[in-house]
Structure 1
Amino acid sequence: MLPSGYRMRRRDEFTLAVRRGRRAGRPTVVAHLLRRGDAPRDDSPRTVAAGADPSAPPHVGFIVARTVGNAVVRNSVRRRLRHLVRGHLDRLPRGSLLVVRANPAAGRARPDDLAADLESALDRLLRPPTSKGRR
């Protein structure tokens, strides 16, 4: 279970992370990570939601749509993802926002495939960004 202090609950946090964060897609999950330094610089409520406090823990949210399966399948996938993310909380930067969205294949995926896809997506997101003009 994910500790309650790490849960993302506000809609504007989800929106900000999905729209402005870096994205890494895998067959069963898509992860969006917005680091504290990547947040907008104005004094809008979105800035506050983006973890303007450097000592704030990372917040994690989950999106599991109806395309994943019926309610039982969706809740099962959400519980598995929460359990898997808990093991990676120490890797996430302080004040960051992470949204994990389950793809339709997540409902049929084996637990080890779901874990491998999540770990791969997080590895890509936590890798330092490369400059696009260099070779």
Structure 2
Amino acid sequence: MAGKGAAGLRRRSEFLLVAEKGRRAAMPGVIVQALAVPEREGVRLGLTCSRKIGNAVARNRARRRLRAAARAALASARGGWDLVLVGRQATVDRPFPALCEDLAQALRRLGVT
């Protein structure tokens, strides 16, 4: 996974490209969109949470939880992927081990790990 200050998905066009051309897996705690980019080393990660989740505090909490879960799940990921993690309402309240398992299962379904 991209570390602090490393390259991640930042621009809207990058998020839209992953959504349009990539594959997705929906789990109770997170939706994962993945696009294979074989010429790239490493994994670029983007996080998004809409207003459906709640106020700014709830959205930030959801993003922090997704970032922590991704740190654990992507430690063994192969390179060459752009990933977008989309927070859901359950992301905020779901027990953290269950959220981590949701993410790991989605990544397995998509062939990232």
TM range (shorter): 0.7 to 0.9
SS at match of 1:4: coil
Amino acid of the residue matched to residue 79 of structure 1? R
Amino acid of the residue matched to residue 86 of structure 2? R
Aligned residues: 112
Q: How far apart are 1:127 and its partner, in Å?
A: 6.5
Please report the TM-score for the alignment, with normalisation by the length of structure 1: 0.72
Q: Distance in 1 between matches of 2:80 and 2:54?
A: 32
Q: Distance in 2 between matches of 1:36 and 1:116?
A: 25
The equivalent of 1:27 in structure 2 is 28
Query: Structure 2 vs 1, CA of residues 6 and 81 (structure 1 numbering), >3 Å: closer, same or farther?
Result: farther
List gaps (5 residues or longer) in structure 2.
Answer: none
Pick from 82, 87, 93 the counterpart of residue 102 of structure 1. Answer: 87
Q: How far apart are 1:67 and its partner, in Å?
A: 1.1
Pick from 66, 69, 87 the counterpart of residue 84 of structure 1. Answer: 69
1:54-69 aligned at under 5 Å gives the runs: 54-69=39-54
Please report the TM-score for the alignment, with normalisation by the length of structure 2: 0.84
More strand by share: 2
**Structure 1 residue runs of 4+, over 4 Å off?**
none
| Mapped pair 1:70 → 2:59 | no
SS at match of 1:76: helix
Q: Distance in 2 between matches of 1:66 and 1:80?
A: 16
Indicate if the aligned counterparts of 1:2 and 1:83 stay in contact, CA closer than 8 A. Answer: no
Q: CA RMSD in A?
A: 2.2
Q: Distance in 2 between matches of 1:90 and 1:127?
A: 11
Which is further off, 14-23 or 108-117?
108-117
List gaps (5 residues or longer) in structure 1.
Answer: 38-53, 129-135
